[in-house]
Structure 1
Amino acid sequence: MPARRVVTGRSQEPRKRFAEELRKLRAERGDSLRRLGEVVGWDWSLFSKMEKGETLGGPEVVQALDTYYGTSGMLLVLWELALGDPTQFKERYRRYMALEAEAISLWHYAAYVLPGLLQTEAYARTLMESEGTFEGDELTRQVEARMGRRLLLEGDSAPTFRTILSETVLRTPLPVRAQWQEQLEHLLTAGDRRNITIQVVPHAAGLYALANTDVMFLKPTDGRTVAWVETAYSGEVVEGTAAVDQLQHRYDVVRDLALSPADSRKLILRTLEEASCEPSI
């Protein structure tokens, strides 16, 4: 593996460190961007954007660069760290991101939109575009960061994650039919994993607590429970025992109203079948 440079204050930021490493490795080889593109097999402009920190690229291109430079997976590790870099998120989310990263279990309720941990790239992009907060390269960076968070649920040491979705979440499709089908298929695939449980509260359950509140409960390694309550305009970490207990009680009531995981899967499958049908003429 090539000699590593001393980590500077600037390169301690994962995204900048990743771009810095790419520039350094190419300089050591003496390659131009065009030459690198020819050898590795991607358009040289992608490598230019990656070295400027404008995009992180995908895992395939990073693995190809690891092979070319002989860095034994180092670039892929840096890429994963850059995807999950909490500095890419708004200040109000950083405390939550730190808690999420160290949680040994998470349980969640979604009132209107899917949890970020289960969103496809198209779903995340459409949602962020509708919010109007980001655009251009910054929108791309935010979508990449959200996709990076999904790594939290992968691997042998991944935390357990339960999400309860209101049926409204399933009945609110993406504008592009194929992208919505992809999202529903992703839910089905995720629900098959041992550490993920997905349930749905049907409309027939009527009114219930938390009906207008997205909430995530997190259990860090110290055994306490922390809640993250979010609306379209703000998010708040709730750590007080009484407040968390009250939210937990409401969550338990909602869980009692939800379909079983098996019946929830059937509802998602029916929704996918409906989305796959051609509209009547």
Structure 2
Amino acid sequence: MPQRRAVTSRSQEPRQRFAEEVRRLRERSGASLRQLAEQLGWDCSTLGKLERGQSLGSPEIARALDDYYGTPGLLLALWELAVADPTQFKERYRRYMVLEAEAVSLWHYAVSNLPGVLQTPEYASELLAAGGLTGDELEAQVEARMGRRGLLLGENAPQFRSIISEAVLGTPLSDSEEWHAQLRHLLDTARRANITIQVLQLSAGLHGLSNTNTMFLRSAAGQTVAWIETGYSGELVQDAADVEQLQLRYDLMRDLALSPSASRTFIERMLKEAS
């Protein structure tokens, strides 16, 4: 059988093809990167990294670009192909990212560190650096994590609840000003109608998720899956019986947490004490 030839001169590598299309559409529109950033409300450097293939960004960026260029679903489809590229992410995490982008509600428990969607760039950078990332790889991962924050900020953003262990809030950043900024960011984020933040005090005692960072994602069809992780690995849980057991543990733990109002007061007190 003769070898297939590429129909176009564009890259057949998913990540590079996504970058090429993002750049081609902008150049065809006649907009500069700065003009595009101002129109969309995204950081100019983020859009530049997409075009250079240094970052995949998030599904929210892909959707925003599709809306801007009038190419419904094109860039989002290319983004999904790039994410699905086996050289980019492990299979289970690729599936999780797609489910996260489609979720209508998410609820989370943070046992060791803040969830990525609530982190400031400085928090993300110090956390990822502690895990061994450096240089361009560290910068790209921080950029990607900041892109995922857009998941909670759009007009049709999903409902999100995060229960945060007191131990997380008791582990500050090395720079006190950056830590203050992170705590203020939590308070600001908690004021959004679609976001609920609760604190689980250490005095609440043991519970069924004591050592497991957990995220539940519910789709528009009503299906719920869970993502559980440690500092070394993550696992997507899709079996209905297993998810139900995790949900039961989560519900019992939520009963032990402070109310959203009391949680804001708790974080405000920590901010004052840290100042």
SS in 2 for 1:200: strand
How far apart are 1:235 and its partner, in Å? Answer: 0.8
Aligned counterpart, 1:17: 18
Between 47-56 and 241-250, the greater mean CA deviation after superposition:
47-56
1:99-118 to 2 correspondences below 5 Å: 99-118=99-118
Determine if contact 1:55/1:140 at 8 Å carries over to the other structure: no
Q: Deviations over 1:11-65 (max 9, x none)?
A: 754x653456547866998xxxxxx99x99xxxx9999775434689xxxxxxxx
What is the CA–CA distance in structure 1 between the aligned matches of 2:143 and 2:241, rounded to whole Å?
Answer: 36
What is the CA–CA distance in structure 2 between the aligned matches of 1:27 and 1:127, rounded to whole Å?
Answer: 39
Task: Indicate yes or no: 2:186 matched with 1:194.
Answer: no
What is the CA–CA distance in structure 1 between the aligned matches of 2:247 and 2:47, rounded to whole Å?
Answer: 47
TM-score normalised by length of structure 2 = 0.76
Show structure 2 runs of 5+ residues with no match.
1-7, 37-44, 58-64
Change (3 A) 1:7 1:98: farther
Quote the sequence identity (%): 51
SS in 1 for 2:168: helix
Equivalent position amino acid for 1:127 in 2: L
Aligned counterpart, 1:216: 215
Q: Deviations over 1:47-88 (max 9, x none)?
A: 99775434689xxxxxxxx9xxxxx9449x99x969996365
CA-atom RMSD, angstroms? 3.7
What is the CA–CA distance in structure 1 between the aligned matches of 2:194 and 2:178, rounded to whole Å?
Answer: 25
Determine if contact 2:25/2:69 at 8 Å carries over to the other structure: no
Q: Deviations over 1:187-225 (max 9, x none)?
A: 111100000000001111122221111111111122121
Between 18-27 and 94-103, the greater mean CA deviation after superposition:
18-27
Show structure 1 runs of 5+ residues with no match.
1-5, 30-35, 58-65, 67-71, 277-281
SS in 1 for 2:192: coil
Change (3 A) 1:223 1:9: farther
SS in 2 for 1:237: strand
What is the CA–CA distance in structure 2 between the aligned matches of 1:179 and 1:93, rounded to whole Å?
Answer: 29
Task: Indicate yes or no: 2:237 matched with 1:238.
Answer: yes
What is the CA–CA distance in structure 2 between the aligned matches of 1:47 and 1:225, rounded to whole Å?
Answer: 32
Aligned counterpart, 1:152: 151
What is the CA–CA distance in structure 2 between the aligned matches of 1:225 and 1:135, rounded to whole Å?
Answer: 35
Equivalent position amino acid for 2:100 in 1: E
How far apart are 1:152 and its partner, in Å? Answer: 0.8
Aligned counterpart, 2:174: 175
